[in-house]
Amino acid sequence: MTTAPAPEPTGESSLVLAAREGDRAAFGGLYARYARMVHGILLARVPATDVDDLVQDVFLRALPKLCDLRDAARFGPWLAAITRNRANDYYRQTRSVVAVTVSLPEDEEELPASSTAPDAEAAVILTFVRSLPDAYRETLILRLVEGMTGPEIAERTGLTPGSVRVNLHRGMQQLREKLSQASRGGAIPADSCSGRNSAAQEKNALRRRNEP
C-alpha cells in the first residue's frame, strides 16, 4: 500500500522553511514582506528615532528562533509576537507635550493607501495615536503610517478581519475625539514612548524612513 506524498509547501511557507535551513535570500524575502508590519508595531510603542534599529534587531532575533516555529504558515503572528516582546523590553520613561490643531477623514474607508500628510502633521497624529489603547494604536499605525490595508493587517498579524475592522473603527472614533478636543484648545496627549523625542524628532524619523 502506498500513500500520496505530502504536498510541497508553497509561497510564504516555503520561504520560512528555506530560511530555517539557512537560505539568506529566503529570509530576505520574509523581511521584504514583513518589514512594514514590524515597523508599525514598534512605532506604536517606542520612540520613532529608534524604530529603524529595532526593526533590524527584531529580524536578527527571529532568524535563530525559526527552528522553534512549528507551523510555517503562522510566521506573521509569530513575528508580530516577537516584535511586541522587543518593544516591551524597550526602556521608556518621560513624556513630551505640545499643542496642535489637525483633522482626519471621517471614516476608515476614506483613508489613503499610505500616509500623505505633511511631516509635522504626521508627527502630531502619531502622538495622538500613541495615547490610544494598545490594540487600536497598533492597528491604526499599520493603516495610517505603514499604508497596509485592513485585510493585509489581518493576514500579517493573525488577527481576524472582524477584529481589525473593529480596531480601526473604534480607534478612529477615539482619535477623532482627541483631535477635536485639541482643535478646541487642548494639547497633544503626553507621548507614552519618551519625553526625549520632540515633534521635530518624530518628523525627521518619519522622513528618513521614506527616503530611498
Q: How confident is the model at residue 135 (pLDDT cuts 50, 70, 90)?
A: confident
How far apart CA 100 and CA 88 sit, in angstroms, is: 29
Separation of alpha carbons 56 and 38, rounded Å = 9
Buried b (16+ CB within 10 A) or exposed e, 189-208: bebbbbeebebebbbbbbee
Q: Tell whether the model's pLDDT for residue 80 goes beyond 70.
A: yes
Average pLDDT over residues 93-116: 41
207 neighbors 55 (Cβ within 8 angstroms):
no
Cα–Cα distances (Å) from 59 to 39, 47, 53, 201, in that order, read 11, 18, 10, 25
Domains of the chain: residue spans and CATH: 12-89 (1.10.1740.10), 108-210 (1.10.10.10)
> What pTM does this model have?
0.69
Asked whether residue 57 carries a pLDDT value surpassing 80, the answer given is yes
Instruction: Please list the residues that pair with 187 across neighbouring strands.
Output: 99
Q: How many CA atoms lie within 13 A of 185 on its CB side?
A: 0
Task: Check residue 119 and give its pLDDT.
Answer: 61
**CA distances, 88 to each of 44, 45, 136, 201 (Å):** 11, 8, 17, 22
> Confidence band (pLDDT; 50, 70, 90) for 101?
very low
Question: What pLDDT sits at residue 9?
Answer: 45
Binned at pLDDT 50, 70 and 90, residue 134 comes out as: confident
Residue 74 has pLDDT above 90, yes or no: yes
Distance CA 46, CA 50 (A): 7
